[in-house]
Amino acid sequence: GDSVTQMEGPVTLSEEAFLTINCTYTATGYPSLFWYVQYPGEGLQLLLKATKADDKGSNKGFEATYRKETTSFHLEKGSVQVSDSAVYFCALISGFQKLVFGTGTRLLVSP
């Protein structure tokens, strides 16, 4: 079945550091890919999406590129802030319309 694998956390960075959170997927067909973010005490929010190969999703300084050849959708940000501290979930939807999530990666950014 479809699955998403993302790097285990926590990822601990200093403010202004470069962030990469790795995500790879297994899916039948041509999935759409998403990153969701969950800030402390809040619900899941859509961060960015990509619907086909080579698409780049971007939002709030975060980017991820849909790489079909490596089945990856790594999340990057050039300069993190303390306010980016949250749990990040990589996810996909394929033909079955349900989101399949990775286990989540906690990001901790210190001043």
Partner 1 sequence: GAGVSQSPSNKVTEKGKDVELRCDPISGHTALYWYRQSLGQGLEFLIYFQGNSAPDKSGLPSDRFSAERTGGSVSTLTIQRTQQEDSAVYLCASSSNRQGLNQPQHFGDGTRLSIL
Asked if residues 26 and 84 have their Cβ atoms less than 8 Å apart, the reply is: no
DSSP letters of 38-60?
A: E-TTS-EEEEEEE-STT-EEEET
Q: In terms of CB distance, is 2 or 13 closer to partner 1? A: 2
Q: Residue 7 interacts with partner 1 (CB under 8 A)?
A: no
Q: In terms of CB distance, is 77 or 89 closer to partner 1? A: 89
Q: Residue 78 interacts with partner 1 (CB under 8 A)?
A: no
Considering only the stretches 8-16, 18-26, 65-73, 88-96, report the one whose residues sit in contact with partner 1 under the rule CB under 8 A. Answer: 88-96
Considering only the stretches 16-24, 60-68, 72-80, 94-102, report the one whose residues sit in contact with partner 1 under the rule CB under 8 A. Answer: 94-102
Cα distance between residue 22 and residue 104, in whole Å: 11
* Rg of the chain in Å (alpha carbons): 13
Task: Please report how many Cα atoms fall inside a 13 Å half-sphere around the Cα of residue 89, on the Cβ side.
Answer: 16
Give the residue, chosen from 7, 58, 65, 101, that forms a contact with partner 1 under the rule CB under 8 A.
101
Asked if residues 9 and 105 have their Cβ atoms less than 8 Å apart, the reply is: yes
Q: Residue 22 interacts with partner 1 (CB under 8 A)?
A: no
Interface ranges with partner 1 (CB under 8 A) = 31-32, 34, 36, 42-46, 49, 51, 89, 93-104
